Amino acid sequence: MSEPAAPAPQALPVRLVGTVGAVTLDVMAALGRFGAFLGDAVAHLFIPPFKLRQLLDRIHFIGFRSLTIVILTGAFTGMVLGLQVFLTLSRFGSEAFLGPAVALTLIRELGPVLCALIVTGRAGSALTAEIGIMRISEQIDALTVMALNPTRYLVVPPIVAGLLTFPLMTALFDVVGIFGGYLVSVELLGLSSGTYFGEMQNFVDMTDIMTGFWKALSFGVIVSWVCTYKGFHCGHGAEGVARATTQAVVLSSVLILVWDYFLGSVLP
């Protein structure tokens, strides 16, 4: 049994170029796998049979079970906004614009982003861990050898559930947040309720709401895509699952913020 001969030592610049090239190829291959993973899932969106029970379960898991935390953070975000923006605007004597300021901030920006970040922590991490454990305990292999496509059972349902639930949760977050702002500015700080809601109707229009909607929709895909991908491709053992979970949360959060900036600059 002969071992392959070690390659002759090369000059430093050559090795450097080689290393950079190898890293680039690795990154490109990983990006390719990441994209192909979503492509595969999208293809299975249109190929029956559809797994309705799994979908309902994921809607329950991602959407329904996140309601408490969404309401809680929505309320406090609105209250903090109400307080801080009131303090700022009152310096200019323009408290009248508090309503639209709170509403626009929530609807265009904070609602979709904070909601997505919180659901990533609450449901995305659990999604990665669950799929990762299925991977290391060979449950995904078991599905595969039963001639059942794991993508259909484990990836498509969370992505569809993300698409459906993120806009709804974001809407809830916005509404609760606006009432949180109302609570602080009207009930505590003495702004008139007519001013708070009246000016809101004047300044918030449909394009703002659509901006928030598109953001929420795309965050739903990003979170479920990243979290299922990381679970699917996790390493060995408990450590592999732990690392995949961390990576899923970090990558989802970063992508949410980057994509938010991008959409913010292209959408009206």
Partner 1 sequence: MIRVEDLHRAFGGQRVLRGLTLQVAPGEIMVVIGRSGGGKSVLLKHLLGLLRPDSGRVVVNGTDITHLRGPALDRIRERYGVVFQGGALFDSMSVFDNVAFPLREKTRLRSREITGRVEEKLDQVGLAGMGHKNPAEISGGMRKRVAIARALVTEPEVVFFDEPTTGLDPILVNTIHHLILGMHRKFRFTAVMVSHEIPEIFGIADRVAMLHDGVIVEQGTPDVIQGSANPIVQQFVRGDVEGALRPA
- Range in contact with partner 1 (rule: CB under 8 A) among 38-46, 107-115, 145-153, 219-227: 145-153
Burial of 52 (0-12, 13-18, 19+ CB in 10 A): exposed
Burial of 54 (0-12, 13-18, 19+ CB in 10 A): middle
Tell me how many residues contact partner 1 (CB under 8 A).
12
Taking CB under 8 A as the rule, does residue 23 contact partner 1? no
Taking CB under 8 A as the rule, does residue 68 contact partner 1? no
Taking CB under 8 A as the rule, does residue 144 contact partner 1? yes
Q: Which two tokens stand for residue 73?
A: 């953070």
- The count of other CB atoms within 10 Å of the CB of residue 151 is 17
* Residue of the chain from 30, 76, 84, 138 that contacts partner 1 (CB under 8 A): 138
CA distance 10 to 225: 42
* Residue of the chain from 12, 146, 206, 266 that contacts partner 1 (CB under 8 A): 146
| Binding residues for partner 1 restricted to 24-43, rule: CB under 8 A | none
* Residue of the chain from 10, 137, 201, 202 that contacts partner 1 (CB under 8 A): 137
| Binding residues for partner 1 restricted to 147-176, rule: CB under 8 A | 147-148
Would you call 157 helix, strand, or coil by DSSP? helix
Instruction: Write down the least CB distance from residue 49 to partner 1, Å.
Output: 9
CA distance 237 to 239: 5
CA distance 268 to 262: 12
* Residue of the chain from 34, 89, 139, 214 that contacts partner 1 (CB under 8 A): 139
* Residue of the chain from 5, 52, 145, 206 that contacts partner 1 (CB under 8 A): 145
CA distance 13 to 9: 12
Q: Which residues bind partner 1 (CB under 8 A)?
A: 133-134, 137-139, 141-142, 144-148
